[in-house]
Amino acid sequence: MAHRIGYFVGSLSSTSINRTLANALIKLAPDTLEFTEIPIDGLPLYSQDYDADYPPEGRALKEAIDASDGILFVSPEYNRSIPGPLKNAIDWGSRPWGTNSFARKPTGIIGASPGGIGTAVMQSSMRSVLSFLDAPQLNAPEAYINFDPDAYGEDGEVKDERTAGFLRHYMDEYAAFVQRVLDANAQGHIGDDDPESRK
């Protein structure tokens, strides 16, 4: 059965290398996954003042997460952390209080940088955020992509077979992880009837 994957690109740049990476991952993913981007560029800056009456942009974001079987984050690292627009989107999805849309969603985190550590510190920050939000994360393989522009074509084809093999393996493992979490979720959970457990 196909699984619906909502993906976030954590960059607003028109020349984003992480968007190139996202396009490559979609091309290399197993055909059991269907991808829909969850856009982050139209969101106001989150404030708790919105909780009483979530605006359409916030509701659309939550509906897109709710409609996804799994979530994939493809993001740059900004100043050794999560780019502001992506963190803002996550904050929107996590609220209003008691309606955290990320709870129990299988997630993957991957990112590219021209630098050697390939978004490792951003990914570490993301793991902390997603753990707090009760979102299971693919732990291995880790994917810290030191972006080589010559390895990618314009519409996301990967020209370098070693890179393609690594990214294909990542997406195969991500697909298997999504299936495992969905299977576990289907078993039910202690506290399923208790909204306090989904804070």
Q: Which residue has the tokens 């106001």?
A: 44
Stretch in the footprint of ligand FNR (CB under 6 A) among 15-23, 42-50, 53-61, 179-187: 15-23
* Residue 114 C-beta: closest distance to ligand FNR, Å: 6
Alpha-carbon distance of 56 to 47, in angstroms, equals 14
Task: Candidates 8, 11, 107, 174: give the one binding ligand FNR (CB under 6 A).
Answer: 11
**Closer residue to ligand FNR in complex, CB, 12/103:** 12
Separation in Å, CA 102 to CA 68, 79, 98, 160, 172: 10, 25, 11, 34, 22
| Residues in 99-128 that interact with ligand FNR by CB under 6 A | 113-115
The answer to whether 146 and 115 have CB atoms below 8 angstroms apart is: yes
> Is residue 12 exposed (0-12), middle (13-18) or buried (19+ Cβ within 10 Å)?
middle
Stretch in the footprint of ligand FNR (CB under 6 A) among 14-22, 45-53, 64-72, 97-105: 14-22
Q: How many residues bind ligand FNR (CB under 6 A)?
A: 13
Alpha-carbon distance of 102 to 90, in angstroms, equals 9
Task: Candidates 13, 36, 128, 197: give the one binding ligand FNR (CB under 6 A).
Answer: 13
Residues with Cβ within 8 Å of 151's Cβ and at least 6 positions away in sequence, in order, are: 158, 159, 160, 163
- Please tell me whether residue 6 binds ligand FNR under the rule CB under 6 A: no
Task: Candidates 80, 159, 169, 199: give the one binding ligand FNR (CB under 6 A).
Answer: 80
Residues that bind ligand FNR (CB under 6 A): 11, 13, 16-18, 76-80, 113-115
